[in-house]
Amino acid sequence: MSVLLGATLASACTFGTGIAYATDHGDTAIYNGEARNDARLTDFFTTNRGDKLVVVIDTNPTIGTASQSPTQSQTTYYFPTDVTFKAHIDNHSKVSFDDPARNAHYGGRIVDPAGIKENFVFTFSFDNSNQLTTTMSSPDTELGISGFYPTTVLQGDLVYVLGSGFTADTRVNVGGTLALLSHTISDNVLVFIAPFGSNSGAITLRNPDTSTITAQSIRSASPLFVKSFQGINKVALENYNNIIANTAVTDAIKTGNVLALADIGLPVKTFAGLRDDPFIRTTATGKNIAAMALEMPQSLFTHGRQKVLISWAASGYDAISGHFSDVAGGSFISMFEPEKNLINTLHPSQHVAALEAAAQLSPPVLLPCQTPYQNGIVVAPFNTDCSESERMLKSPDVAIFDTTKPQSYPNGRALTDDVVDLIAPYDPRVNGLLYNPTNGENVNGSTSPTVNDVPLSDTFPYFGLPQP
């Protein structure tokens, strides 16, 4: 399916600087060798605010240091133009909660790790003027771009239908009644005025000549995507006519411009810029991070579908070939060896197979034993002299988020989650290198904070303001 949503927003880049230490810690060997700090992922969050889903990608662990790019300073950050950052959501892979160990460490067990597949992709890229473009697409054309149906649409409501395969001849029926006022804005977006009163039932669309539109490829607008005008009236008609007559808006929608869709009522927000590093650790105190964030209706992914989402971030650098150059999903899953060098450049569907293949080598590459680890001390090399059931669990580097449950690590990850302290009981490398379980301190002796050093915001993008 072609790109549906996009945005062109000036990045908010007049803030302070700092070093970021977070989930992936900028651990990709490829980027380290290329010295492309601005392409390194350091953190990924999947969280929600009420009925909104929020995804956050943090990058660049060297902002404000001697190794920074000459185009960066303590008050300004310029995102790279030759790197794309992506957030992925899989809302079809089944997740089981029958394994207490995996529930505690990863938020659940993905039944078929090899079947992980992104149903939605959000791509962040930047031009030479440091402007952000965000596009949303669905690789699965039969899925359509959204997954919900309206339950109540009143006569005169202005409705936007998101899907695929729309033509100028596409006809709209609501509850069996033909909508006389309808217009195809692009092959993905159609607008109409509801022709009836009371409950609607399902919206159906059809191309009379080709019959190319099917029930599977149409995902109509939810009530969140409806502007109500209480019957056909002057306001409704003016809005309708303004949309179809405004060639600038129409052209922007065709090219995937989020601002154009936001202007006609779609609740989508994007952000890019410097913010305080939300990682709750002494090493992140007083530091900033280069961040990208996107907020959308959660029902876009869950209405009429499963409520458990799988998500991950990736970055790609133009000069490096391969599917991904860096992947970040679950906290610390690919920070340490051997996972760091085995799975960081692979699609999550390949992660478990790569780890299992490494375990079959001679000599095998094995994950360390699970905790409890003795006295919080990591033995070098890793202690792998344990039974298979005692070894670290093999898992793809993704975040699992059950939207029906309270949102807190390991169920997704909120900005307030102190992940080091939460993960230390399960991963000896975190336990010994970053956390002392006997006194809750960092290994260097400093007391570990329990809350972020800057108050988090109640409004999008929800980070604390950047350090001065």
Domain locations in the chain as residue ranges: 8-141+268-433, 158-252
Q: Which fold has domain 158-252?
A: Immunoglobulin-like (2.60.40)
pLDDT at 16: 26
pLDDT at 354: 95
Euclidean distance between CA atoms 422 and 427, whole angstroms: 10
pLDDT at 338: 86
Strands (E) in 197-280, as ranges, are 203-206, 218-219, 226-227, 269-276
Token couple for 113: 């790790």
> What is the full per-residue pLDDT of the chain (468 aa) written as tens digits?
223 333 333 333 322 222 223 356 566 656 555 667 888 888 899 888 888 889 999 988 777 665 555 556 666 789 999 999 999 999 889 999 999 889 988 999 999 999 999 888 888 999 999 988 887 766 554 333 333 344 456 666 777 666 666 778 888 777 677 787 888 877 667 777 777 554 555 566 777 666 555 544 444 444 334 455 555 567 667 767 776 776 666 666 655 555 555 665 567 788 999 988 888 777 777 778 899 999 887 876 776 678 999 999 999 887 665 556 788 899 888 888 888 888 988 899 999 999 999 999 998 888 888 765 444 444 555 677 888 888 889 999 999 999 998 888 999 988 888 888 788 777 877 766 665 555 555 555 556 777 888 899 999 999 988 887
Token couple for 174: 């609501």
Q: 84, 124 in Cβ contact below 8 A?
A: yes
pLDDT at 196: 58
Residue 337 CB contacts under 8 Å (≥ 6 apart), including other chains: none
Amino acid found at 423: I
Query: Exposure pattern of 111-137 as b/e (b: 16+ CB <10 Å)?
Result: eebeebebbbbbbbbbeeebebbbbbb
pLDDT at 311: 95
With residue 244 as reference, give the H or E element that holds it: helix 234-245
Euclidean distance between CA atoms 417 and 410, whole angstroms: 9
pTM value?
0.78
Euclidean distance between CA atoms 22 and 461, whole angstroms: 18
pLDDT at 340: 85
